[in-house]
Homo-oligomer: A and B are copies of this chain.
């Protein structure tokens, strides 16, 4: 089957002995086609290994049936789950997903959005915090998934960081810890998580005695390095802390290594809890208790919002929060 040029709709029509229009109708699953003709067209398609040209389809059709997903960075694994959710909501509705990170196809286009606009996507999903230089036309349906910063006419679907922080505190309180610590950095998420953590700690029933929360927040990115330094600073000032909550898993990892270097055992001496439930946390070797931000749900929600917005561009922007979930592993234990 050495195939030269791919077959076109004309080839199929000729082979099936019908007009191109009829083939098009069959392609679109129109019910207004006789079973006989339909069968003929279908077999011709099979025999020719015909496949409609997406270029021709989106050029001639009224909609491109394509939606673009802007990832901040392929290295942030959470996008994998996000995509799963998006697929469920979008793909099953006949939409094609095209993903790009900040660098993919840079050079051809200034930003991934440029490329999407050229493709005439029907909508755009921005994963994570939107950067201001994205330059998305006002008429383009947009939804931000997993980011808190909202841009003018975009819906936002994000994890409820405050609730997650509360869950972390509740978990540690349940285990009997009363001298807690928080490790944070200079991100909006970190602030929200801290607020939730402190709020829940403060609201704890006074029965078990006073609950204290020592805090170490470093400016800058929430890196492993920052986690190590924050833990060091925290412990230097409050050596009696028995459980720490890090703003994310990466920082928690830094805390773990710093604890090991100080000869403190986890969870015997100090319990540690992270946030994001990254793949590393789930490994047996690390086994980090963490807050699952439910990225699949976020993706599904974002997809549904986008669909709604595409159907009715006039819709008011909404902000919805997805309830996180605590995943207990071996880095937390009863006091």
Residues of A whose CB lies within 8 Å of any CB of B are 1-4, 6, 49, 51-56, 58-59, 64, 74-75, 77, 79-80, 83-84, 87, 91-92, 94, 96-99, 103-108, 114-115, 117-120, 137-139, 224-225, 228, 253-254, 256-257, 260, 279-280, 283-286
> Do the beta carbons of A286 and B285 come within 8 Å of each other?
yes
Residues in B whose Cβ lies below 8 Å from that of A58:
55
> Do the beta carbons of A54 and B55 come within 8 Å of each other?
yes
Known: A3-B138, A83-B104, A224-B284. 4 other contacts (CB 8 A): A2-B138, A3-B137, A54-B115, A54-B120
Which chain B residue has the least Cβ–Cβ distance from A259? B285
Chain B min CB distance to A66 (Å): 10
> Do the beta carbons of A257 and B228 come within 8 Å of each other?
no
> Do the beta carbons of A108 and B94 come within 8 Å of each other?
yes
A to B CB contacts below 8 Å, 11 in the list: A1-B137, A1-B138, A3-B139, A54-B119, A55-B56, A75-B77, A77-B77, A99-B104, A228-B284, A260-B285, A280-B280
> Do the beta carbons of A254 and B52 come within 8 Å of each other?
no
Which chain B residue has the least Cβ–Cβ distance from A260? B285
Q: How many copies does the complex hold?
A: 2
> Do the beta carbons of A120 and B80 come within 8 Å of each other?
no
> Do the beta carbons of A120 and B53 come within 8 Å of each other?
yes
Distance of A286 Cα from B56 Cα, bound (Å): 51
Distance of A306 Cα from B74 Cα, bound (Å): 23
> Do the beta carbons of B83 and A107 come within 8 Å of each other?
no
| Interchain CB contact (< 8 A) of A254 among B1, B53, B224, B285 | B285
Distance of A26 Cα from B65 Cα, bound (Å): 30
> Do the beta carbons of A279 and B75 come within 8 Å of each other?
yes
Which chain B residue has the least Cβ–Cβ distance from A137? B3
Q: 3 closest A-B pairs (Cβ-Cβ)?
A: A257-B285, A55-B59, A55-B55
Chain B min CB distance to A100 (Å): 8
Residues in B whose Cβ lies below 8 Å from that of A75:
77, 80, 279
> Do the beta carbons of B285 and A256 come within 8 Å of each other?
yes
> Do the beta carbons of A97 and B107 come within 8 Å of each other?
no
* Residue from A4, A59, A115, A285 having most chain B Cβ neighbours under 10 A: A285
Residues in B whose Cβ lies below 8 Å from that of A87:
103-104, 106-107
Residues in B whose Cβ lies below 8 Å from that of A254:
284-285
